[in-house]
Amino acid sequence: MMGDRLRAVVVGLVVSGWLTATAVPAQAWCWWNCNYTKTKYPIVLAHGMAGFDELFGVFEYWFGIPGALDDGGATVFVTSVSQFNSTEARGEQLIDQVEQIVAITGKPKVNLIGHSHGGLDVRYVAAVRPDLVASVTSVGSPHKGADLADYLSDNIEGGSFAQGVLAFFAESLGTVLGLLSGSTDPQDAIAGLDSLSSSGMATFNAQYPQGVPTSSCGSGASSVNGVRYYSWSGTGVLTNAFDISDPALGLTSLFYSESNDGLVGRCSSHLGTVIRDNYFHNHLDEVNQILGLVSIFESNPKSVFRAHANRLKKAGL
């Protein structure tokens, strides 16, 4: 067992260019509850907004979360896919990395956890290669599309946004699109927007229906092709007065007709077994950003991830 963890320390997978899967260094010691998150299969964290990882690095995208999982005995890998691309293209990159993680660890499968767009990427991997996947968990992912993407798609004229939309968002447009699509380049963002709209997601869901609720706000199948499906999300928006990202999420939340985390609606986040869909977390709080600035009146995101790892462990995953 210790050998597995040591091996995870030693081997940092760096493929080339975009493709990176990094083993999380194992803690040298543990005081308490040392096996709480010790899942049978490695935990693989798949990011969403990669504009973010330019700022903080892909490891820090999950602020403090890999370490929190590792403290409880989990073997954790953090993957990295193209900042901007279709779910299928990102998913193919992720499959390559999962194959390598399986080769390194000697475990036949992984537990995939994706945030935002990453939650769609992991669905793709499980649909195409269920043999490599023990479980899929999405956190704040727009499985039925994002209202903001619909609005922006409807306001594209000749490849650029209508003047009124640009004026409305002013300088935060790039930030908003980066959060949503993983790109701060307007051309990339426009090209990618459709995949996160309700029509784009309907097309994706028709091809990859595993775990997606058939009703508008129900749960999905808990297990498909031997893969367990879970999801959670938040409906907080303004959660911490010191977090500079809260006002931007407050602005984007105005586009939603249902409660939301600033970018993804409560019902749209449902996949498989819905663990909870109303944490007082906004879209960035879900990955303990920015820099751990979250609500002090709600379960800490790190605790939510640890509890989920324990859930996977108890399920024999």
Please identify the residue of the shown chain whose CB is closest to the bound Ca ion.
243
Is 166 or 238 the residue whose CB approaches Ca ion more closely? 238
Q: How many CB atoms lie within 10 A of CB 297?
A: 8
Is 19 or 238 the residue whose CB approaches Ca ion more closely? 238
Minimum CB–partner distance for residue 295 and Ca ion (Å): 8
Minimum CB–partner distance for residue 293 and Ca ion (Å): 5
CB 37, CB 73: distance < 8 Å: yes
Using CB under 5 A, which of the segments 135-143, 172-180, 242-250, 272-280 binds Ca ion? 242-250
Is residue 286 a contact point for Ca ion (CB under 5 A)? no
In this chain, which of 243, 261, 277, 286 binds Ca ion, going by CB under 5 A? 243
What is the crossing angle of helices 198-207 and 186-196, to 10°? 60
- By the 10 Å C-beta count (0-12 exposed, 13-18 middle, 19+ buried), 226 is classed as exposed
Using CB under 5 A, which of the segments 35-43, 78-86, 92-100, 288-296 binds Ca ion? 288-296
116 catalytic residue (yes or no): yes
Minimum CB–partner distance for residue 75 and Ca ion (Å): 28
Strand partners, 21: 13, 79
**DSSP for residue 62:** S
Distance between CA 105 and CA 24 in Å, rounded? 13
Minimum CB–partner distance for residue 63 and Ca ion (Å): 9
With CA atoms as reference, report the closest residue to 98 among 60, 71, 131: 131
DSSP per position, 108-169 = S-EEEEEETHHHHHHHHHHHH-GGGEEEEEEES--TT--HHHHHHHHTEETTEE-HHHHHHH
Is residue 249 a contact point for Ca ion (CB under 5 A)? no
Is 274 or 284 the residue whose CB approaches Ca ion more closely? 284
Separation of CA 7 from chain center: 26
* Binding-site size, Ca ion (CB under 5 A): 4
Is residue 285 a contact point for Ca ion (CB under 5 A)? yes
Is residue 293 a contact point for Ca ion (CB under 5 A)? yes
CB 249, CB 146: distance < 8 Å: no
Minimum CB–partner distance for residue 54 and Ca ion (Å): 18
With CA atoms as reference, report the closest residue to 44 among 143, 117, 115: 115
Is 261 or 277 the residue whose CB approaches Ca ion more closely? 261
188 catalytic residue (yes or no): no
Distance between CA 6 and CA 1 in Å, rounded? 9
Residues 265-284 within binding reach of Ca ion (CB under 5 A): 284
Out of 261, 269, 281, 308, pick the active-site residue: 261
Is 118 or 272 the residue whose CB approaches Ca ion more closely? 118
Distance between CA 279 and CA 177 in Å, rounded? 24
283 catalytic residue (yes or no): yes
Out of 70, 80, 86, 116, pick the active-site residue: 116
Minimum CB–partner distance for residue 235 and Ca ion (Å): 14
Out of 71, 283, 295, 308, pick the active-site residue: 283
Active site residues: 116, 261, 283
Residues in contact with Ca ion by CB under 5 A are 243, 284-285, 293
